[in-house]
Amino acid sequence: MRLEYTDKAVGDLLRLRQFIEEHDPQVANRIATRLVQGIASLLDQPRLGHPVALAPDPESIRDLVLRDYVVRYAITNSRILILRIWHHREDWKQL
């Protein structure tokens, strides 16, 4: 199984890091590292996140909560696709 990011998920990581960096560059590095490491843990435990009840296939679309951040991802037979990443205070529907 391999781990892949959508363009939107990469953009989310950049957006979040840039926002945090404006306030505290050292914290931005730590949070970015924690997010990437937390996401990588899905390779060992792909069903670690919670099913997204309103998804067409709730078992394959899941949300992983990493402290204050939510990582939405899809599981297929061959990959874990990171769809979006947001801070829990953001309205993900507006992203």
Instruction: For residues 27-52, give the mean pLDDT.
Output: 94
Rounded CA Rg of the chain: 13
pLDDT score, position 13: 93
The CATH topology of domain 2-88 is YaeB-like fold (3.30.2310)
Res 89: pLDDT: 84
State pLDDT tens for residues 52-94.
999 999 889 999 999 999 999 999 999 999 999 999 887 766 6
d(CA 73, CA 62): 5
Q: Which two tokens stand for residue 14?
A: 């950049």
Query: Quick one: average pLDDT of 35-44?
Result: 96
Residues 6+ apart with CB under 8 A from 32: 13, 16, 17
Q: Where are the domains of the chain?
A: 2-88
What is the CB neighbour count within 10 angstroms for residue 21? Answer: 15
At CA 62, angle to CA 48 and CA 69, rounded to 5? Answer: 80
